[in-house]
Amino acid sequence: MKLYGMKKVQVIIMRLNKIISGIMIVAVCVGLFSGCVNKTENDLSQTEIRNIAEIATLEAYYHNVARLHHDKSGKLFGIGNIGYKQMWFEYTGLVRIGVDAKEITVSEPSANGVVKIKLPEAGILGSPDILEKTVSDPIIDKGWFTKITAEEKKTSLVKAQEQMLKEAEKDDTLKAQAYDRVKVLLEQYVKNAGEAVDKKYTVEWIEE
């Protein structure tokens, strides 16, 4: 079985995912922004702001390998490699990268139409999801009278997930993309909210 590195597969899938997600964002945002047109007050909906942040979230797919390895602890009559065990299986995980919507603060428009928005830094949102249908059958090699327990399988998967999270945390490019997407969509939302009440709103970004 060929084992793939996480980063290589993730980049390939992200290229396709960016194209698809870009089309989806345009379609969904038309619905969100058009909802501002009927507003009669100059308030900015916190619910819609949270929705925008969620829409802008990037989804990155990482192909990963969970491994277990224990060296032999002894032999029976000089043979058997008792205690030796090795197992690995492949799977794909989904990591979400974006801005925590709960940490976004948006001011009411000032007298001259300035809306101040404070954005937190983009980061990993939640824990990676395991795509169950991608989990391969485990490859197992073990010595005599040696078992691989369910707990050991679980531990190997937990360690693999932790490694996937570390890889995603190091990807500053994806974080920057997610951050910029939120800014673009929020700025468009504020502009449309102003037009709904015949005013011109502009955004002043307050960055951490």
Please state the pTM of the whole predicted model.
Answer: 0.71
- Whether 1 is in a domain gets the answer no
Asked if residue 79 belongs to a domain, the reply is yes
pLDDT of residue 47: 84
- 204, β-bridge pairs: 116
Outline where DSSP puts E strands in 36-188: 58-70, 74-76, 79-82, 85-98, 105-106, 114-119, 123-124, 129-130, 139-142
- Asked, for residue 160, whether it belongs to a domain, the answer is yes
- Confidence at residue 126, expressed as pLDDT on a 0 to 100 scale: 93
Q: Which burial class, exposed, middle or buried, applies to 182 when counting CB atoms under 10 A from its CB (0-12, 13-18, 19+)?
A: buried
Domain assignment present for residue 59? The answer is yes
What is the amino acid identity at position 185? Answer: L
Q: Is residue 86 in some structural domain?
A: yes
Per-residue pLDDT, 34: 45
Domain containing residue 88: 6-207
| One pLDDT digit (tens) per residue for the chain, 208 residues | 333 345 434 443 443 344 334 434 443 444 444 444 444 344 677 888 889 988 899 999 999 999 998 776 655 545 556 778 889 999 999 999 999 999 999 999 999 999 999 999 999 999 999 999 999 999 888 877 788 888 989 999 999 999 999 999 999 999 999 999 999 999 999 999 999 889 999 999 987 6
| Whole-angstrom distance, CA of residue 32 vs CA of residue 189 | 8
Q: What is the pLDDT of residue 48?
A: 87
Residue 90 lies in a domain: yes
pLDDT value at position 4? 38
Question: Do the Cβ atoms of 17 and 177 come closer than 8 Å?
Answer: no
Do 91 and 135 meet the contact criterion of CB atoms below 8 Å apart? yes
Tokens coding 69: 């390895």
- Total domains in the fold of the chain: 1
